[in-house]
Chains A and B, each alone.
Chain A
């Protein structure tokens, strides 16, 4: 059963088109994350789903019912806000019960629901407190509890973790995921943090400038991005983009890398096809993730896709498990994720192994993938 369908939805604020025809559909129980840089329209889309903004054109269906002209309270949704939006004059119990009271749920039933939700989120001992007496994490829980108490068809989360400190954010992230596994209700979750998106989502919609650039599973987005924006947005550190020319070397089609000293290396592309032939002798952009450039790949010795190049190290950034080594290839900066023991000092030359099996090619003009 489709629990949320969005069909060619547009939204204007005045003459400013914020959403330029967005379509997506998710199944019941799915965890959808809308991700993108600020101003991409993701929060607007969430507000449209909630009914807090009116859509300019298109159609939104919740549980197979068109809700375009249905008020927020009748859409069978619950929402968790970035600022938690707890009612300041009410204690936690009343905050949780407010939505039930407005819906005229019988008193004794409200008591039971509040108790159950409070237990589920471990906030039972906070029920008498006012929001001002709670810590950020506790407020977050209460905000989620308020949504849970309602037992809706769809949960909407609007950047719920961005006001928490880094450690708590990671903890709450896991809790939200556990919660979803337990209650199995559809969730639409907005964030600008691609790690949150990757870790939580069943499917991610990557948005920019009011359009969805790609709507796919986290792994597909990572391995098979549709364009340079998605490729660069998902993954940290970001994918390396290197401008180069596609050439033929014997039977292989590939690109040439020149290091700072002018020494060139030929790197063949994994799957040459008819699509690639069209690009021969033309400029392309090669995308390769930092972890595909390393000091060595032990487990893959003898893999024909792995090529060795020599580079002068510009800067080194140790992160603990890996060291990020920055080198210059074809005039652009390259981030390489190297085992700390291989990392050379800045200014020294080091051998880097490049795994071309997951390298991608992009059209430098349209920024779209070549041969996807």
Chain B
């Protein structure tokens, strides 16, 4: 080794720099590849129909116009009605907010029980609950519509809320249970000796440390429920269609000219809430997902 300078760990060599360049090139290319569809959607929604016909798919709009957005929101036809997406957007909000709150809240209590108040057979119970994560939506369509019919909430937003809450529970329970497993059980014991009961321990000790996993559960549930199409199309009535179903109807409406700019604007409107949720809370999402993995 004589004559060779000792290598300080972490020093950059030509080789490592080249590898870095390759790495970043690949990553940038991948990012662009995934962004292109969104880019096309945005520019198309800002074009006029004339612009769309004369240009190519990725050519930039000659004049920026928000007419398509206004139409998509207010007056585009979804089937026979021509009132735009606004009503359905509201339907989705009315469905998503209560369903997310309920499935997250119940999931949190479930997870608390399965991690800290185990009872005889609770592991088996938990395993069965987990199976719910793997049941395809299609299997339960018929029995569920029967159930909703019996309950008298078929074709209503309330029915959709119920379906999504139930279907979300296996996931939220799993999230919370895995998170709470990393909370030391001695803390629960200490609180029991201090005289606190089931719900007092939950409120005063468990909930205050649960923020990261709540973010995960809320993001996950919001995305799932907002983006759901199958339950929406199967269990909703004319007045309770969620936005995903409305978007499908709008795009598939076959009368008149195909207005790509309106379709694109409507699609972005339909996707915007989940996008915003990710941008706002995405940082916490990753943090929360890994929180249970390593003891902190």
Contact = CB atoms under 8 A, between A and B. Distances in A.
Interface in B147-172: none
Contacts of A86: 187, 190
Contact of A98 (B189, B191, B208, B209): B191
Interface string A13-42: 000000000000000000000000000000
Contact of A72 (B186, B193, B204, B205): B193
A78 B193 contact: yes
A102 B195 contact: yes
Interface in B42-96: none
Interface in A26-82: 47, 50-52, 71-73, 77-79, 81-82
Nearest to B184: A83
Interface residues on A, range: 20 to 34
Interface in A126-171: 146, 150
Contacts of A73: 192-196
B193 A98 contact: no
Given A98-B204, A102-B200, A88 B187 contact: yes
Contacts of B200: 102
A52 B191 contact: no
Contacts of B192: 52, 71-73
Interface in B179-215: 184, 186-187, 189-196, 200, 204-205, 208-209
A63 to B, nearest CB: 16
A103 interface: yes
A81 B186 contact: yes
Given A81-B186, A83-B186, A88 B209 contact: yes
A102 B194 contact: yes
Contacts of A81: 186, 189-190
Contacts of A79: 189-190, 193
A89 interface: yes
B195 A99 contact: yes
A87 B208 CA distance: 10
B28 to A, nearest CB: 39
A297 B209 CA distance: 62
B186 A85 contact: yes
A146 B193 CA distance: 11
B204 to A, nearest CB: 7
B193 A77 contact: yes
Contacts of B191: 87, 98
Most chain A CB neighbours (cut-off 10 Å) among B187, B195, B196? B195
A85 B195 contact: no
A40 B196 CA distance: 30
A88 B204 CA distance: 10
B209 A102 contact: no
Nearest to A47: B189
Contact of B190 (A71, A85, A89, A103): A85
Interface of B: 184, 186-187, 189-196, 200, 204-205, 208-209
Interface of A: 47, 50-52, 71-73, 77-79, 81-83, 85-90, 98-99, 102-103, 146, 150
30 contacts: A52-B192, A71-B192, A72-B193, A73-B192, A79-B193, A81-B186, A81-B189, A82-B186, A83-B186, A85-B184, A85-B186, A85-B189, A85-B190, A86-B187, A86-B190, A87-B190, A87-B191, A88-B187, A88-B208, A90-B204, A90-B208, A98-B191, A98-B194, A98-B204, A99-B193, A99-B195, A102-B195, A102-B200, A146-B194, A150-B194
Given A47-B189, A89-B209, 15 more contacts: A52-B189, A52-B192, A71-B192, A73-B192, A73-B194, A77-B193, A81-B186, A81-B190, A85-B187, A86-B190, A98-B194, A99-B193, A99-B195, A102-B196, A102-B200
